[in-house]
Amino acid sequence: MIVRSPLRLAAFVSVLLAALPALAVAEEGETLDPSQEFALEPYVSLHLGPLDMSINKAVVYMMLSSLLCIGFGLWVVRKGLDPKPGGGQNVLELAYEFSEEQIAKPTLPEGTFKRYFPYVATLFLFVAINNLISFIPLPMAHEGDLFGTGLKDLGLYAATANINVTLALAALSFVIFNFEGVRAHGVVGYFKNLIPDAPGAIKPFIFALEMLSTLLRLVSLSVRLFANLLAGHLLIIMCAGFTILLGSVAGVAALPVGAFFYVFEMLLVAGLQAFIFAMLTGLYIGFAVEAGH
């Protein structure tokens, strides 16, 4: 099979590298369980009372994403901003303009734009980079010994495929938009805005539905991102595992299927889910401060 496109080549190589944990399992005669790649064993155990603050794979990936965001921004700024941008400055300005024009301006009212544009832009970039680096094979698989180096085998993992991560991000957005609603209207006024003009008999029913809808935003924000990333990575890992475990024509046939899911998830799902998360956060803030939402 001739692979001419660099993107396709990267996809095939990544799927093959993602199959390394499955190869280790096959050699040991164990049962392949793709969900084990999402197990979080602590690298550094740290507990503060009932809080588990241990450093695990998800924390490392989020740290890496934060370092990439901050480091790239500082590197571009320290080089000096050019009136005729190129290279890194182009990428930085593109991310800024996209966050401003496509996410913040359509969703945030004028009174909250300056206050929350940095938040929704940071949220978009943080989630997007977390999603994108999850398609780069790193030596952080569940098990194995990478070429006798003592490192784990190469594998694919997404911090945003962990419900704790997405729930924490959603909870922060949930607190912010409710805080802004109360700040704009007061406690009583904010709850009054949940009741539209309607016959008096059905107002309590509508209020209950509005309250439930507001609470479910916390669930929808967290589960949408978590489920999409988890499902995509499981499909890729399973296809990679079949390639090794079947060891026949059927196994080879699973490789292009895995490469297809890899390209689809990386090009479409990673950026789209980050955009949706940030966009919905902006919308929720905007709805909360409007006179009637």
Q: How high is the pLDDT of residue 2?
A: 41
In this prediction, residue 148 has a pLDDT band, given cuts at 50, 70 and 90, of: low
Is the pLDDT at 26 greater than 50? The verdict is: no
In this prediction, residue 246 has a pLDDT band, given cuts at 50, 70 and 90, of: low
Q: Which residue has the higher pLDDT, 238 or 229?
A: 229
Q: How high is the pLDDT of residue 279?
A: 95
Q: How high is the pLDDT of residue 13?
A: 57
201: left (phi over 0), alpha (psi -120 to 50) or beta: alpha
In this prediction, residue 1 has a pLDDT band, given cuts at 50, 70 and 90, of: very low
Burial class for 157, CB neighbours closer than 10 Å (0-12, 13-18, 19+): buried
φ, ψ of residue 48 to 5 degrees: the values are -115, 90
Q: Taking all residues of the chain, what is their mean pLDDT, rounded to a whole number?
A: 81
Q: How high is the pLDDT of residue 39?
A: 74
| Whole-angstrom distance, CA of residue 34 vs CA of residue 19 | 10
Secondary element (H or E) of residue 258 = helix 249-264
Of the candidates 140, 137, 123, the one whose C-alpha atom is nearest the C-alpha of residue 60 is 140
Q: Which residue has the higher pLDDT, 209 or 173?
A: 173
- Find residue 44's DSSP bridge partners: 55
| Whole-angstrom distance, CA of residue 12 vs CA of residue 173 | 37
| Whole-angstrom distance, CA of residue 115 vs CA of residue 120 | 10
| Whole-angstrom distance, CA of residue 195 vs CA of residue 201 | 12
160: left (phi over 0), alpha (psi -120 to 50) or beta: alpha
Give mean pLDDT, residues 113-126: 94
| Whole-angstrom distance, CA of residue 251 vs CA of residue 15 | 13
